[in-house]
Structure 1
Amino acid sequence: MSLDDLNEEIQASYSEFGDELSIDLDRETRNELALLETALDPEETDELVRRAIHMLFQSTVETGNLDFHLRSAYDVTYDEYLSGMTFDQMTGADQYPTMDDERRYQF
């Protein structure tokens, strides 16, 4: 997979979400959400879910977990996704043909 594949899949997921996302909550999650809603008193519960997604995203980026998964699946990092270019494209390393090791030192 590549950076282009990643961009296509992100756009597809984004369009599938739409404006609203309904999810089923297990008992533990409902209890935690109820406690957070009571303690933090947001205007609406959706705000807590948005905050949770932001916090999960931030911690995933900071720990390198996002880069690990992106590199495993798409062979890119989050920085490469943000810039729209792979490291090889940024440095120009992908513009040279690969060397044949058996013929490398033949004159």
Structure 2
Amino acid sequence: MSLDDLQDDVQGEYSDLDGELSVGTDRETRNELAMLLAALDTDDPDELVRRGVHMLFQSAVETGNLDFHLRTEYDVTYDEYLSGMTFEEMAGGADLPQTGTGDPDDRRYQF
């Protein structure tokens, strides 16, 4: 898979979320949600679900877990997804122009 495949899949998943998100819960989840509703002084469980998704996403990014799964499935990282280019494309890959002089002082900046 590739960066384009990942972008297509993210757009498809986002489109599928257009309706209301209905999540079934077990007893433990309901207890934890009730505790959070009480402690955070809110009556909106949907808001806590949104916060939970944000926290899970942030944790996955910070620990490298998201990059691991993206690399495994799509052979890209989250940074590559955000930039729209792979690191190889950013650095010019193997397609860097070479000078015919072979001068070791002739260095090119690569990002």
Task: Mark the runs of 5 or more structure 1 residues left unpaired by the alignment.
Answer: 97-107
Amino acid at match of 2:84: G
**Cα separation, partners in 2 of 1:35 and 1:16, compared to 1, 3 Å:** same
What secondary structure does 1:61 align onto? helix
TM-score by length of 1: 0.85
User: What is the RMSD of the two structures over their aligned residues, measured on CA atoms?
Assistant: 1.2
State the identity %. 67
Q: CA deviation at 1:43?
A: 4.5
Work out the CA distance in 1 between the residues paired with 2:20 and 2:91. 41
2:93 aligned residue: 93
Task: Mark the runs of 5 or more structure 2 residues left unpaired by the alignment.
Answer: 97-111
Work out the CA distance in 2 between the residues paired with 1:71 and 1:50. 26
CA contact (8 A) 2:2 2:74 kept: yes
Q: CA deviation at 1:19?
A: 4.3
* Segments ≥4 residues shifted beyond 6 Å: none
Work out the CA distance in 2 between the residues paired with 1:94 and 1:32. 52
Work out the CA distance in 2 between the residues paired with 1:25 and 1:46. 13
1:66 aligned residue: 66
Work out the CA distance in 2 between the residues paired with 1:33 and 1:84. 37
- Within-5 A mapping of 1:33-48: 33-48=33-48
CA contact (8 A) 2:37 2:43 kept: no
**Cα separation, partners in 2 of 1:18 and 1:94, compared to 1, 3 Å:** farther
Work out the CA distance in 1 between the residues paired with 2:65 and 2:78. 10
Name which of structure 1's ranges 47-56 and 36-45 shifts more when overlaid on structure 2. 36-45
- Within-5 A mapping of 1:1-107: 1-95=1-95
Q: CA deviation at 1:95?
A: 3.1
Name which of structure 1's ranges 71-80 and 37-46 shifts more when overlaid on structure 2. 37-46
What secondary structure does 2:76 align onto? coil
